[in-house]
C-alpha cells in the first residue's frame, strides 16, 4: 500500500499535473478560436450567397467527414513535404480549431435558420443593413439556440485533445502513456487519467449550464 501511494504521489500525479496544464493550453485557445470561427463559418453557410455557402459547406463536410487524427497527421507530418512546418503544439491547436469550428458552424447554421426570416426583412425595412441585422438581432438569438450543441462540442474537444500526443505534443494522455510504458502499471495510470478527464468535463458542463441559464430569455425557449 505504501508503495502504491508513493507511486501516485511521487511519480504519477506530478506527471499528470504537467500533462493537464498542457491539455488546458490546448483546449482553451482551440475552444475559443473554434467557437469564433464556427460562428463566422456558420453565418456564411446560412447567409453567404451561393459561392461562399458552397465553399464553406465543403470546408464543414471535409473536417466533419474525416477523422481528426488524420487531420493532425496531415498538419504535422504531411505539410512539411510542401515546405510548411508547424511545431507540435501549433499543429495540435490548429487541428483542433479547424475541426471544432466545422462542428460549431453546423450548430450555428441550424440556429440561424431557425430564426424566422420575417425578422430579417423587418429590420431591413427599418433601415438596418444585412450585416447589422445579423450582428445585433439574428446571431444573438441563434447563438442561444445553438449553445447546447456548441457546449457539447466543447465537451468533445476536452476528450479528443487526448489525440495531441500522436504528433508528439505530450498532454495528459501522452504523459500518462509515458509513465505507464515505463512502469507497466497501465490499469492504475489510465484509471487516474479517466478521473482527470471526468473532472475537466464536469467543470465544463457546470460552466456551460450556468451560461445557458444566464443567457436564457423567458419565453424564448431553452
In a domain, 222, yes or no: no
* pLDDT tens digits, one per residue of 139-172: 888 888 888 899 999 999 999 999 999 999 999 9
Domain assignment present for 31: yes
pLDDT for 171: 94
For residue 75, the domain's CATH number is 1.10.3720.10
In a domain, 73, yes or no: yes
Q: Is residue 221 part of a domain?
A: no
129-138 LR contacts (CB < 8 Å, sep 24+): 130/47, 134/43, 134/47, 138/112
Question: Residue 215 has what pLDDT?
Answer: 77
- With residue 113 as reference, give the H or E element that holds it: helix 88-114
Number of compact structural domains in the chain: 1
Is 47 within 8 Å of 120 (Cβ atoms)? Answer: no
Residue 155 maps to a domain: yes
Say if 210 falls within a structural domain: yes
Q: Which domain covers residue 131, as residue numbers?
A: 2-215
Give mean pLDDT, residues 2-12. Answer: 74
Does any domain span residue 184?
yes
Does 220 map to a domain? no
pLDDT digits (tens, 9 = 90+) for 80-130: 999 999 999 999 999 999 999 999 999 999 888 888 777 777 887 877 787
Amino acid at each position: 500500500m505504501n508503495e502504491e501511494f508513493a507511486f501516485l504521489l511521487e511519480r504519477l500525479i506530478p506527471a499528470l499535473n504537467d500533462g493537464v496544464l498542457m491539455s488546458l493550453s490546448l483546449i482553451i485557445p482551440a475552444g475559443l478560436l473554434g467557437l469564433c470561427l464556427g460562428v463566422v463559418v456558420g453565418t456564411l453557410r446560412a447567409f453567404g450567397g451561393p459561392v461562399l455557402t458552397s465553399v464553406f459547406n465543403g470546408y464543414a463536410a471535409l473536417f466533419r467527414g474525416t477523422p481528426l487524427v488524420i487531420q493532425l497527421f496531415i498538419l504535422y507530418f504531411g505539410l512539411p513535404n510542401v515546405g510548411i512546418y508547424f511545431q507540435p503544439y501549433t499543429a495540435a491547436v490548429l487541428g483542433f480549431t479547424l475541426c471544432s469550428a466545422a462542428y460549431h458552424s453546423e450548430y450555428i447554421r441550424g440556429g440561424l435558420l431557425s430564426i424566422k426570416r420575417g425578422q430579417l426583412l423587418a429590420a431591413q425595412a427599418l433601415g438596418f443593413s444585412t450585416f447589422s441585422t445579423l450582428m445585433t438581432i439574428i446571431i444573438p438569438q441563434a447563438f442561444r439556440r445553438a449553445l447546447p450543441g456548441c457546449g457539447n462540442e466543447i465537451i468533445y474537444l476536452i476528450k479528443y485533445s487526448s489525440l495531441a500526443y500522436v504528433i508528439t505534443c505530450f498532454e495528459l494522455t501522452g504523459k500518462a502513456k509515458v509513465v505507464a510504458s515505463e512502469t507497466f502499471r497501465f490499469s492504475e495510470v489510465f484509471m487516474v487519467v479517466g478521473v482527470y478527464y471526468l473532472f475537466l468535463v464536469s467543470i465544463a458542463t457546470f460552466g456551460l449550464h450556468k451560461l445557458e441559464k444566464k443567457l436564457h430569455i423567458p419565453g424564448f425557449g431553452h
